[in-house]
Amino acid sequence: MEDIVGLLKKHNLLRVIEESVDIDLEIPHIAFLEIKKTDSKALLFLKPVSKRLGKEFHIPVLMNIFGSKDALRLIFGKEPEEISRQIEEITKLRIEAGLKGKTEFVTKLLSFTHMPPKRVSSKGLCQEFIKQGDKVNLFNLPILTTWSGDSGAFITMGQVYTQSLDGSLQNLGMYRMQVHDKNHLGVHWQIHKDGMHFFHEYQKAGQKMPISIAIGGDPLYIWCGQAPMPYGFFELLLYGFIRGKKAKLVKSLTNPIYIPDDVDFVLEGWIDPQDFAPEGPFGDHTGYYTPQEPYPVMEVTCITSKLEPVYHATVVGKPPIEDKYMGQATGKIFLPLLKTTTPELIDYDMPENGVFHNLIMAKMKTRYFGHAKQFMHAFWGVGQMSFVKHAIFVNHDAPKLQDYESISRFILNRISKENIVISEGICDALDHASPNACYGGKLGIDCTGEEIDAELKEIITNEKLLDQASSICSEIKAVRQFATDTKTPITFIAIKKERLVKEVFKMLRPIRKHTKLLVFVDANVDDIENLYMLIWKVTNNIDAKRDLFLEDEFFGLDATVKGKMDCYEREWPNVVNCDKNVLDSLRKRGLIDISDEVLKKFWI
């Protein structure tokens, strides 16, 4: 961690804040706004305080270290594309005929000997300072409360180390951890995570589960913790592959878990598989609060640290946030592994305002009629791709996926009812739109063919369209058209919902000559001029099986808040947002410098 702080400072990618700033809301708000800047920097808070606890901490807080492409490059020590090429070499590793081929194969294999972590028997740098038993106190760490609707303080950049019941498998994951009291943490791992798989083993055996939470150290540890690795593959093998050296591990003092020698903090403990407690709500990376639900509880038996540690944290909420850059690197690096299952895949992109699992675009080599539809199901069956809600597939001759203006036009000229697939399957636990937790509708669109044979619509002004639409349904308060020169013009409709949106959609058939896709949003919360945030809103708020309406070449999407009228029985979550009083205070003290235009752009 000292190395990366030095590198960031050397490359003018670090802002040091020497003023006293509160760990409750203030530090997270500063970090959240910083990442919205085009020239965002990592932040080092030297004097964190807690008015709530009446404490001054002598532990600096480090935020946003993954907050730019330049910072990411420094952390990796190389370009993500170079790591991707190295992984591709492994996937294509073959024994060629002859002595030379065999020699080259063995040489390649030997080059991977640095990958497995190395366990040492000595005490680690992370164990210079030790607190055990009654001396364990989580409130002595500057653990942040991020949002005003959060149920408490959460560890947000914890490296969660666990092992299988028989000790043969190790796992490094990244899960949020809620502080319940001075020595208990809520462990928010989801049904598809390896940590949860291990937990079920201990639960079935009736045994306590060992767990250690590391904070800080080499930032690459935390990136490896969120990498989509296959089950049973210890993420620190990936660390060794990228770094070209073994991760050095030491044993925790009060459980059998091994953790990296150079992390800043280690929280050791055990999980009683019978002990659950309410966890959340928490404003998560979707930009919405996740509800309060029961999760396992970790009893912290020991806290160790370096003598001069740094507390590493992140902030999550509406995009763009720090995980934007982490996700972009992950996409590039793991493309070769995804190709081993779907070899026709050329590239894929997860737009930041689709918060990754909500929207993906994929470019493929289409080989025969119906190939893309077959490909969709293969895609939805691969690891973490199975959590993707909305997937759009284009052919190899499509524009670059990251050129959003061009690829959008390409897609909109190829959408027809016949090219749309509505399926269902597992969803991310953070998805709130599906009628059932962790299971809901999925949308696939096959845009691999030629432009559809359809006449352009008869476009009229927004004002005239609003007059027509509102005369049909008085609940409609505003309209805004986009992509009017494509075969699929989009009309966003702000509605004060008093009936099922599907009924309103049917009422609006008379305007179909002017538009093709109607997207309904709530009139009281949405700015229908802001396409960036509208995409964020829509991809969060729809379940394809319930909210997509198809009538020949006239489509509707219901992205409004759902309730009992929609037969939605779950609690619809609130949107995460900054506290105005906190923003005003930070501005007066000169701790934030961000324009009202930027706040409006990102619905802050």
**Rg for the chain (alpha carbons), in Å?**
25
Maximal C-alpha separation, the chain: 81
Prior bond to 489 cis, omega within 30?
Answer: no
- Those residues whose C-beta lies under 8 Å from the C-beta of residue 555, and which sit 6 or more positions away, are 415, 417, 516, 517, 518, 548, 549
In eight-state DSSP terms, residue 288 is: B
Cα–Cα distance between 25 and 42 in angstroms, integer? 17
Closest CA to 186 of 147, 159, 142, 153: 153
Q: Which residues contact 254 (CB under 8 A, 6 or more apart)?
A: 132, 268, 269, 301, 302
User: H or E segment at 90?
Assistant: helix 80-91
DSSP string, 359-406: -EEEEE---STTHHHHHHHHHTTSGGGGG-SEEEEEETTSPPTT-HHH
HSE value, Cβ hemisphere, 13 Å, CA-based, for 173: 23
3-class SS of residue 522:
strand
List the structure tokens of 357.
């699992």
**Which residue, among 141, 255, 252, has the nearest Cα to 209 in the 3D structure?**
255
Cα 224 to Cα 216: distance, rounded to the nearest angstrom: 13
Q: Which of 194, 284, 428, 446 is catalytic?
A: 284
Handedness of CA 288, 293, 296, 298 (dihedral sign): positive
What span, in angstroms and rounded, lies between the C-alpha atoms of 321 and 464? Answer: 38
DSSP state of 459: -
**Cα separation, 156 vs 216, whole angstroms:** 11
Residue 47 DSSP SS3: strand
- Buried b / exposed e along 34-48 (16+ C-beta atoms within 10 A): bbbeeebbbbbbeeb
Run of H or E residues at 132: strand 129-132
Residue 204: burial class (beta carbons within 10 Å; 0-12, 13-18, 19+): exposed
Residue at 381: amino acid letter: G
Q: Quick check: is 526 catalytic?
A: no
The answer to whether the CB of 557 falls within 8 A of the CB of 518 is yes
Structure tokens that stand for 116 in this block: 């497995």
Catalytic residues: 284
